[in-house]
Structure 1
Amino acid sequence: MDLTTTTYIVVGLSFALYIGIAIWARAGSTSEFYVAGGGVHPVTNGMATAADWMSAASFISMAGLIAGMGYGGGLFLMGWTGGYVLLAMLLAPYLRKFGKFTVPQFIGDRFYSKTAATIAVVCLLTASITYIIGQMTGVGVAFSRFLEVSNATGIYVGMALVFVYAVFGGMKGITYTQVAQYIVLILAYTVPAVFISLQLTGNPIPQLGLGSNLVGTDVSLLSKLDQIVSDLGFAEYTTSVPGSKLNMFVYTLSLMIGTAGLPHVIMRFFTVPSVKDARVSAGWALIFIAALYTVAPAVGAMAQTNLMRTITPGVVMQNADPYAPEASIRYDERPDWMKRWETTGLLKFEDKNGDGRIQYYNDKTTNPEMKAKFDAAGWKGNELNVNADIMVMANPEIALLPNWVIALVAAGGLAAALSTAAGLLMAISAAVSHDLIKGVFVPDISEKNELLAGKISMAVAIVIAGWLGLNPPGFAAGTVALAFGIAASSLFPAIMMGIFSKGMNKEGAIAGMLAGLFVTLVYVFAHKGLFFVRGTEFTGLIGGPNSFFGITPEAFGAVGAAVNFIVAFIVSKMTAPTPQHIRDLVEAVRVPRGSKAITGAAH
C-alpha cells in the first residue's frame, strides 16, 4: 500500500475516534462545558493535560530546535517541564481550592474588581490567539505534506474537526478526546524513535541509544555527531550554547513562568474533584510529558545524524575528506524524501557555485581555518535551507521506515496541534462567555443561554483561529514566544500575588498586569521590526540593535514579569489597603484543607 493511502487510513481512523468520543461525552451543562463537571479522575486529567500542553511546538518543533542548537536546546526541556513543577507546587492546588472556572474569574474575585478581570481576559485572549496561530499553521503543514492537499484545505479540515468535538463536547468532550490524542501522539513520537535508535545504535531504548556507540563502531553517536558538525563549521553539538549565559537563564525562566501562567493549562486543574487531586493530576501530567520529553534529545540528535549522513555522506564516513567533491551528493540524485519536502517549501536548494552538488555547511562561521577550507573547496555559501520543523516529521522518511510508521507520525503531529488548539479555544470561549458576558455585561444570564453563548463564542474563535492560520501576521515566527511572554509577564505574577500576598490590592494588580504586558509587547514587536518611533525602526536599548543586555525577545517574558511584580508592589503601597474580607479570603485559600469553593465580595 502506498504512503498516501496508508496515511489517509491512519489519520481517518484517528479522526473517527475523536468524533466518536465527542458524541459520547457531549456537555449538557455549564459545569460540564467549562470544567467537565469537576469530576475527572486525576490520572485521566494528567493525560489530557499532557496532550493539551504538548502542542505542535513540542511534537514538531522541539526536537528540530534541539537538532539545530544541540546542548543549548535543553533550555526548552528545562523551561517547559520546570513550569509544571511551579504549577503543581504554587498554583494548581490553590486555584482548585478557590473553586472558580477560569483564571480571569479568580483575578476578578481576588482583586475585587471587574476591571482586573477584564484586563485578565484581554491578556488571556492575546496569549491564546497568538499561540493558536502556530497550531493551525502546523495542521496545514501536516495535511499539505502527508495528505497531499493544499495548506488551506488542511486548515479547513482541522477547523471542522475541532468544531465537532470542542463546540458540542466542551471541556468534557475535549478532556476525553485529548486522552485519545495523547495516546496517538506518544505512539507516533516513540515508535519511530525506537526504530531509528535500533538502526543507528542497536539499542531499542532511545534515551539509552543517545549515549551508545554507533552500530559496528567503537564511536558513540554524540561523539560522531560532534565530529560531523565541527567538520562542517558548526558549533560542537554537545557543548554549544547560543547567545549569552544570561540569555539562556532568562529564556529558561521565561518558559517556566510562561508555562505556569498559560490559561488553557491552568484550566485543566479545575476539572478534578479536590485539591489533592489537583496535585496528583499535576504529577501524572509530568510523568506523561516526560514520556515524550526524555525521548526528544535522542530524536533531535538522531535526526541530525541521519540528515548529515544523507546529504553529506563523505563527512559521515570515517577518514573521508569532508571538502572533497564526493563528500556531498548531486542534486539530481537527491533522495525521494527531499523531493517530497521541497514541495512544501520547508526545504530549499540553491546551487550557488553551479556544480550541481549540495553543499551543506556553516558559511557564517568565524573560524578562519574553516573559512579557508570552504573557500579552497570552491564553496560559495550554504546551499540547503532546512526548516527545523521538518526534522521530526521527515525523520522516518530519511531513515526509510515503513509507510505505516510515517503515517503514524502524521497522525501524531495532527493530534498534538489539534489537542492544544482545542484547549486554547476552550480558554477563549470561557473568557468571553463566562468572564465577560456573565461576569461583566449580563450577570443574570440563564445557564442555558450562557452555555449557548459559550458554544457560539467558541465557534467564532475557531473561525478567527482558522483565518489567522491561513493569513498569519508578519510576526508569525515569534507568536509562540509572544504567547509565553504575555502569560509570563501579565497573568503569572497576578496569580502568584493573588495567592501569596494578602496586601496586594486591585490597583497594584491592575497596574502590574498593564505594565508587564506593555513592556513585553513593545520589546517583542520592536525586535521583530514592527514597532516604529517617529517613522524610524526601534533599534534597541543596551547591547546592540534590538537587544537589552543581549536578551532575545523569546526570553523577555521574564523581564516583563519582573516589571509586573515591581510596579504592582509600588502601586499597592501608594493606594488604599486591601479590604479585610479579601485578606481573610487569601488566608483561607492557603489553608491546606478541603476543596470547597471560597468567594470574596466584589466591590
Structure 2
Amino acid sequence: MDVQTWTYIIVGASFALYIGIAIWSRAGSTKEFYVAGGGVSPLANGMATAADWMSAASFISMAGIISFAGYDGATYLMGWTGGYVLLALLLAPYLRKFGKFTVPDFIGDRYYSKTARSVAVICALIVSFTYVAGQMRGVGVVFSRFLEVDINTGVIIGMIIVLFYAVLGGMKGITYTQVAQYCVLIFAFMVPAIFISIQMTGNPVPQLGMGGTVADGSGTYLLDKLNGLSTELGFSEYTDGSKSLTDVFAITLALMVGTAGLPHVIVRFFTVKKVKDARKSAGLALLFIAILYTTAPAVAVFARTNLIETVSDKEYATMPAWFKNWEKTGLLKYEDKNQDGKIQYYNEKSKNEEFLAAAEEKGLKGNELTIDNDIMVLANPEIAQLPNWVIALVAAGGLAAALSTAAGLLLVISSSVSHDLIKKMVKPDISEKGELIAARLSAVVAVCIAGYFGINPPGFVAAVVALAFGLAAASFFPAIILGIFYKRMNKEGAVGGMVVGLALMLFYMLKFKFGIFDGGQEAVESLKPDWWFGISPEGFGTIAMIVNFAVAIIINQFTPPPPQDVQEIVENIRIPSGAGEAVDH
C-alpha cells in the first residue's frame, strides 16, 4: 500500500480512538471538566502530563531545529528538560497543596486581589494563544504532506478534531485521550529512530548509534562524518556552536522558567487525589519525557546526514518521490539559480571567503534549496526509505503530539474565561451548569482564534513555542515563586512585576521578532546586531523575568504587607504534610 493509504488507516484509527475515549469519559461537572474529578492514577497522569508537555515543538520541531542548528539547538533540549524538573520539584507540590485549579486562581487568592486575577487571566490567555499557534501549525504541516491537502485545510481539520474531544470531555476526556496519544507519539518517534540507527550504524539504540561509527566498515564516527559533510557545504561543524554563551544561557533559562510557569502543565497536578500522587506522576512523566528527549539529538543527526547525502549536488530530475511531495506543500523549495539541473545546497552566508570564492568559481549563484525545519522529523523516514507504514506512523505521532498539547491549552483558555473571569469576577452566582456551558463556548472561540494563528504563524513551530515560554517566564514565574516562598510579597508588587515583565517581553518580541516598529518582517534580520545584550527574542524572557522580580520586590518594599491570614496560608503550604482534594471556593 502507498503512504497515503497507510496514513488514512493509521491516522483514522488513532482519531477514532481519541474520539471514542472522549465520548466514554465526557465531563458531567465543572470538577470533571477542569481537573478530571481529581481521581486520575499517577501512572495515567504521568503519561498524560508527558503528552501534554511534549507538543508539536518536541515531536516535530525540536529534532528539526537541532538538525539545522547543531550544537546551538541543544538549548531547546536543555531548557525544556530542565524546566520540567524545576516545575515538578519546586512548584507543583506547593501549588497542589494550595488547592487551586488554575494559575490565575492561585494568583487571585494568594494576592487577595481581583486586579491580580485579571492580570493573570490576560497573561494566561496571551501565553496559551502563542503556544497553541505552534501546535496548530504543526497539525497543518502533518496534514499538508500526508493527506495531500494545503496547510490551511490541515489546520481546519485539526481544529474540528481537537474541538470535539476538548469541548465534550473537558480535562477528564483530555487526560485519558492524552494517555493514548502518549503511546502513539512515543511509538511513532522511536520506531523510525531504531530503524535508521540500525541502518546507519548497526546499533539498535539510537542514543548509542549517534555516538558510534557508521556501518560501512570505515571506522568513521557518525558525528565526524556529519562534521565533514557540514564544513564541505560551508556550514560550521555540526558539533560547534555559533551562538554567544550569553544568548545560549538566556534561551536555556527562559525555556526552563517558562516551563515552570506554563498554566496547562501546572493544572495537571490537580487531577490526582493526593500531593504524594502529584509527586509520583511528576517523576513518571519525567521518565516518559526522557525517552523522547534523549532520542531527539540522534534523530537530528540521522536526518541531517541523510538529507545532505541525498540532495547535495544531485540531479533534480533524479530526486525521489518524497522530495517532490514535500515541494507540493511549499515547505521545501528548489530554485535552479545557475540552470545546471543540479541541487546546490550550501551556506551562501558563510564567513569563509575561500569557500565562497570556490563556489563562485564553480559557477554557483547561491543556495538553491530552502528547507523548513519542521519537516525534518516527518521526512526522515522517507529520506531513509523506510516502509510506508512507518512513514504513516510518524504522521500519526506528530498529530498526537500537536493535538494533545492543543487540547490542554484550550482547556486553560476556557477555564481562564469561565472560572477565573466569569465565576470569580463577573457573575459569582453562576450555576455549575452555566459555568460548564461558558467553558465550552469559550473553548469554541479559542479554537477559532488558535486556527487563525495556525494558518498565519509567526514562525516555525519551535520558535513560536519558545516565545510562549518567554512570555510565561516574564509574567507568571516570579509571581508564583514569590507567592510560594516569600510570604511578605503583596498584591501591588506582584501585579506591578507581571505587568512590566509581560509588557517588556511583548515589546521585545514585536520589535525584534516581527519588526513591528522597524519596517516589518523583512527588517528582522538586519535588527540582529541591535539585540539588547546580544540576546535573541527567544531568550529575552530571562531579562524580562529578572525585571519582573526587581519591580515586584522594589514595589513590595514601599507598600503594605499582605494580611496576616494570607501570610499564614503561605506558611502552611510550605509545611510538608498531606492535603486533601483540590477545592473550589
Q: Is the 8 A contact 1:98 1:597 kept in 2?
A: no
Q: Is the 8 A contact 1:538 1:546 kept in 2?
A: no
How do residues 455-494 of structure 1 correspond to structure 2 at under 5 angstroms?
Answer: 455-472=440-457, 479-494=464-479
SS of 1:348's equivalent?
strand
For residue 539 of structure 1, report the CA deviation from its aligned partner: 9.7
For residue 536 of structure 1, report the CA deviation from its aligned partner: 11
Is 2:204 aligned against 1:220?
A: no
Q: Distance in 2 between matches of 1:299 and 1:558?
A: 29
Specify the alignment match of 2:496 in structure 1. Answer: 511
SS of 1:532's equivalent?
coil
For residue 176 of structure 1, report the CA deviation from its aligned partner: 0.3
Q: Distance in 1 between matches of 2:202 and 2:460?
A: 43
How do residues 205-216 of structure 1 correspond to structure 2 at under 5 angstroms?
Answer: 205-216=205-216
How do residues 542-557 of structure 1 correspond to structure 2 at under 5 angstroms?
Answer: 545-557=529-541
Specify the alignment match of 1:317 in structure 2. Answer: none
Specify the alignment match of 1:90 in structure 2. Answer: 90
SS of 2:329's equivalent?
coil
Deviations 1:347-378 (A, max 9, x none): 11111112111111111111223223222322
- Higher mean alpha-carbon deviation, 367-376 vs 565-574, is at 367-376
Q: 384, 391, 407: which is aligned to 2:376? A: 391
Is 2:210 aligned against 1:236?
A: no
Deviations 1:556-591 (A, max 9, x none): 001110000000000010111111111101000111
Deviations 1:15-54 (A, max 9, x none): 0000111111111111110000111111111110110111
Q: Distance in 2 between matches of 1:284 and 1:147?
A: 34
Q: Distance in 2 between matches of 1:529 and 1:74?
A: 24
Matched AA of 1:573: Q
Specify the alignment match of 1:320 in structure 2. Answer: none
Specify the alignment match of 1:325 in structure 2. Answer: none
How do residues 236-315 of structure 1 correspond to structure 2 at under 5 angstroms?
Answer: 236-238=237-239, 240-312=240-312
Relative to structure 1, is the Cα distance of residues 168 and 600 closer, same or farther in structure 2, using a 3 angstrom cutoff?
closer
Specify the alignment match of 2:433 in structure 1. Answer: 448
SS of 2:442's equivalent?
helix
Q: Distance in 1 between matches of 2:459 and 2:72?
A: 27
For residue 231 of structure 1, report the CA deviation from its aligned partner: 1.3
Q: Distance in 1 between matches of 2:196 and 2:410?
A: 36
Specify the alignment match of 1:412 in structure 2. Answer: 397
Deviations 1:482-527 (A, max 9, x none): 2111100101110001000001000000000001001111111110
Q: Distance in 2 between matches of 1:537 and 1:34?
A: 39
Q: Distance in 2 between matches of 1:95 and 1:364?
A: 48
How do residues 320-335 of structure 1 correspond to structure 2 at under 5 angstroms?
Answer: 328-335=313-320
Q: Distance in 2 between matches of 1:341 and 1:430?
A: 38
Is 2:129 aligned against 1:133?
A: no
Specify the alignment match of 2:104 in structure 1. Answer: 104
Specify the alignment match of 1:167 in structure 2. Answer: 167
Matched AA of 2:356: K
Specify the alignment match of 2:336 in structure 1. Answer: 351
For residue 474 of structure 1, report the CA deviation from its aligned partner: 8.6
For residue 529 of structure 1, report the CA deviation from its aligned partner: 4.2
- Higher mean alpha-carbon deviation, 375-384 vs 301-310, is at 375-384
Deviations 1:436-492 (A, max 9, x none): 000101111111111111111112211221233234469999532321111001011
Q: Is the 8 A contact 1:109 1:599 kept in 2?
A: no
For residue 528 of structure 1, report the CA deviation from its aligned partner: 2.5
Relative to structure 1, is the Cα distance of residues 475 and 212 closer, same or farther in structure 2, using a 3 angstrom cutoff?
closer
Specify the alignment match of 2:70 in structure 1. Answer: 70
Matched AA of 1:581: D
Q: Is the 8 A contact 2:273 2:581 kept in 1?
A: no
Q: 333, 350, 355: which is aligned to 1:365? A: 350
Question: Runs of 4 or more off by more than 4 Å in structure 1?
Answer: 473-478, 535-540, 597-601
Q: Distance in 2 between matches of 1:309 and 1:469?
A: 32
Q: 411, 433, 456: which is aligned to 1:426? A: 411
Matched AA of 1:557: G
Number of positions where the alignment pairs a residue of Structure 1 with one of Structure 2: 582
Matched AA of 1:587: E
Q: Distance in 2 between matches of 1:111 and 1:475?
A: 37
Q: Distance in 2 between matches of 1:474 and 1:405?
A: 28
Q: CA RMSD in A?
A: 2.0
For residue 135 of structure 1, report the CA deviation from its aligned partner: 1.0
Structure 2: gaps (5+ residues)? none
Q: Is the 8 A contact 2:101 2:584 kept in 1?
A: no
Q: Distance in 2 between matches of 1:206 and 1:474?
A: 29
Deviations 1:255-288 (A, max 9, x none): 0001111101111111111111111111111100
Q: Is the 8 A contact 1:532 1:538 kept in 2?
A: no
User: TM-score, normalized by length of structure 2?
Assistant: 0.96
Q: Is the 8 A contact 1:585 1:600 kept in 2?
A: no
Q: Is the 8 A contact 1:64 1:300 kept in 2?
A: yes
Q: Is the 8 A contact 1:52 1:419 kept in 2?
A: yes
Q: Distance in 2 between matches of 1:456 and 1:95?
A: 27
SS of 1:553's equivalent?
coil
For residue 198 of structure 1, report the CA deviation from its aligned partner: 0.7
For residue 80 of structure 1, report the CA deviation from its aligned partner: 0.2
Q: Distance in 2 between matches of 1:182 and 1:508?
A: 40
SS of 1:76's equivalent?
helix
Relative to structure 1, is the Cα distance of residues 399 and 27 closer, same or farther in structure 2, using a 3 angstrom cutoff?
same
Q: Distance in 1 between matches of 2:461 and 2:373?
A: 15
Relative to structure 1, is the Cα distance of residues 379 and 267 closer, same or farther in structure 2, using a 3 angstrom cutoff?
same
Specify the alignment match of 2:119 in structure 1. Answer: 119
Identity in percent = 63
Relative to structure 1, is the Cα distance of residues 599 and 562 closer, same or farther in structure 2, using a 3 angstrom cutoff?
farther
Matched AA of 2:573: V
For residue 597 of structure 1, report the CA deviation from its aligned partner: 6.5
For residue 296 of structure 1, report the CA deviation from its aligned partner: 0.3
Is 2:18 aligned against 1:34?
A: no
Q: Is the 8 A contact 1:100 1:597 kept in 2?
A: no
- Higher mean alpha-carbon deviation, 389-398 vs 521-530, is at 521-530
Q: 567, 576, 579: which is aligned to 1:595? A: 579
Q: Distance in 2 between matches of 1:593 and 1:388?
A: 47
Structure 1: gaps (5+ residues)? 313-327
Q: Is the 8 A contact 1:252 1:555 kept in 2?
A: yes
Q: Is the 8 A contact 1:59 1:189 kept in 2?
A: yes
For residue 294 of structure 1, report the CA deviation from its aligned partner: 0.5
Deviations 1:264-323 (A, max 9, x none): 1111111111111111111111100011001001000000010011013xxxxxxxxxxx
Q: Distance in 2 between matches of 1:45 and 1:299?
A: 27
Relative to structure 1, is the Cα distance of residues 173 and 193 closer, same or farther in structure 2, using a 3 angstrom cutoff?
same
Relative to structure 1, is the Cα distance of residues 296 and 35 closer, same or farther in structure 2, using a 3 angstrom cutoff?
same
Q: Is the 8 A contact 1:192 1:405 kept in 2?
A: yes
Q: Distance in 2 between matches of 1:478 and 1:530?
A: 15
Q: Is the 8 A contact 2:510 2:517 kept in 1?
A: no
Is 2:424 aligned against 1:439?
A: yes
Matched AA of 1:196: I
SS of 1:343's equivalent?
helix
Q: Is the 8 A contact 1:243 1:550 kept in 2?
A: no
Matched AA of 1:92: A
Matched AA of 1:569: I
Is 2:66 aligned against 1:81?
A: no
Q: Is the 8 A contact 2:137 2:461 kept in 1?
A: no
Q: Distance in 1 between matches of 2:550 and 2:583?
A: 27
Q: Is the 8 A contact 2:61 2:461 kept in 1?
A: no
Q: Is the 8 A contact 2:197 2:205 kept in 1?
A: yes
Q: Distance in 2 between matches of 1:380 and 1:545?
A: 26
Relative to structure 1, is the Cα distance of residues 578 and 400 closer, same or farther in structure 2, using a 3 angstrom cutoff?
same
